[in-house]
């Protein structure tokens, strides 16, 4: 089987689970667990809000029409495929920057794309010789993160990704210009201490006010689709949302709305182009109402 066929089979399986789990699994809580796992949640994350253990979640998934190993394998294939597409798109942009800025320091590309110098160099290939090496910032000029800024970033990472491991924090923080996992670890002694100080340790089952409801999720997608773009792919949304920093992330959209990215974009484009006769007018009014994204986030944080 070719790699393209494996990718297609993986997408087909995940979409089948998302679209049919609630019909094939009588217990709706169990169906939610299976769908969450298919959407990329870990076993711990899939049982959030229940009194079930990670192992019990695995048993529930294995008793469904799909096993945990086959779902995990499909998710791995999809994640690797999407990561490759995202990397290639970023590489295309970096190469375009290089052609337009020959002779400029590579540090400018690092600042522009929020990608490490090592990755920028890989993307440039032979063209990296056309750009002077980055001059490391002196210790005095490096960003000094306050304790509260670090803790706030840890909370925001948990809110947007649902994950709280040190590596998950670094993967989320660095592309946004934030610190690596070493900064909170060194500042607070251990990563566990930093998480505890942020007030998110052991809070997976705690019910908190969500910053965004489902209508807000679709509203963000419609806002994104209202601007002409060469592509409405997930990496384009991630770039758009990371620049705004106040709208829901792509991961949060897919996990909460439980639909594939093409399905979400299809609906959002119809609404953005005012082709919404098939939808409930009250829902359209709720989706298209103006949003103060910053206020939505702030209100939710005050109630935590």
The answer to the question of residue 43 being in a domain is yes
Shared-domain flag, residues 183 and 249: no
Q: Is the pLDDT of residue 293 over 90?
A: no
- pTM given for the model: 0.45
> Which residue segment(s) compose the domain that 66 sits in?
3-75
- Give 56's pLDDT tier (boundaries 50, 70, 90): very high
Over the range 35-59, which residues count as b (16 or more CB within 10 Å of their CB) and which as e? bbbbbbbbbebbbbeeebeeeebbe
Backbone angles phi, psi at 51, to 5 degrees: -100, 20
Shared-domain flag, residues 298 and 219: yes
Spatial separation of the C-alpha atoms in residues 22 and 38, rounded to whole Å: 13
Q: What is the mean pLDDT of residues 272-277?
A: 85
Give the tens place of pLDDT for each residue, 13-37. Answer: 999 999 999 999 999 999 999 999 9
Spatial separation of the C-alpha atoms in residues 151 and 183, rounded to whole Å: 11
The answer to the question of residue 159 being in a domain is yes
Q: Is the pLDDT of residue 143 over 80?
A: no
The answer to the question of residue 207 being in a domain is no
Shared-domain flag, residues 191 and 218: no
- Scanning 127-233, the segments in alpha helix (DSSP H) are 147-161, 166-173, 182-188, 191-198, 214-225
The answer to the question of residue 203 being in a domain is no
Q: Is the pLDDT of residue 207 over 80?
A: no
For residue 211, the model assigns a pLDDT of 64
Shared-domain flag, residues 89 and 119: yes
């Amino acid at each position: 089987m070719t790699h393209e066929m494996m990718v297609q089979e993986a997408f087909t399986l995940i979409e089948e689970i998302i679209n049919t789990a609630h019909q094939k699994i009588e217990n709706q809580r169990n169906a939610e667990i299976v769908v969450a796992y298919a959407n990329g949640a870990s076993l711990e994350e899939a049982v959030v809000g229940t009194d079930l253990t990670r192992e019990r979640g695995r048993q529930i998934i294995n008793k469904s029409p799909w096993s945990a190993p086959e779902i995990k394998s499909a998710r791995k294939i999809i994640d690797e495929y999407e990561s490759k597409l995202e990397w290639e798109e970023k590489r295309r942009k970096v190469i375009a920057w290089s052609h337009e800025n020959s002779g400029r320091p590579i540090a400018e590309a690092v600042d522009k794309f929020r990608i490490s110098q090592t990755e920028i160099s890989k993307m440039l290939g032979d063209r990296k010789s056309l750009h002077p090496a980055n001059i490391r910032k002196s210790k005095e000029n490096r960003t000094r993160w306050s304790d509260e800024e670090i803790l706030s970033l840890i909370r925001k990472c948990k809110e947007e990704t649902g994950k709280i491991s040190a590596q998950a924090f670094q993967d989320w923080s660095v592309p946004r210009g934030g610190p690596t996992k070493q900064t909170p670890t060194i500042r607070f002694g251990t990563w566990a201490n930093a998480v505890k100080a942020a007030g998110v340790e052991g809070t997976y089952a705690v019910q908190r006010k969500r910053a965004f409801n489902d209508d807000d999720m679709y509203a963000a997608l419609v806002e994104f689709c209202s601007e002409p773009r060469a592509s409405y792919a997930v990496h384009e949304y991630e770039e758009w949302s990371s620049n705004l920093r106040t709208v829901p992330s792509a991961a949060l959209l897919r996990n909460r709305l439980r639909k594939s990215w093409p399905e979400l974009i299809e609906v959002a484009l119809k609404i953005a182009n005012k082709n919404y006769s098939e939808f409930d007018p009250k829902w359209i009014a709720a989706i298209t109402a103006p949003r103060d994204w910053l206020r939505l986030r702030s209100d939710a944080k005050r109630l935590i």
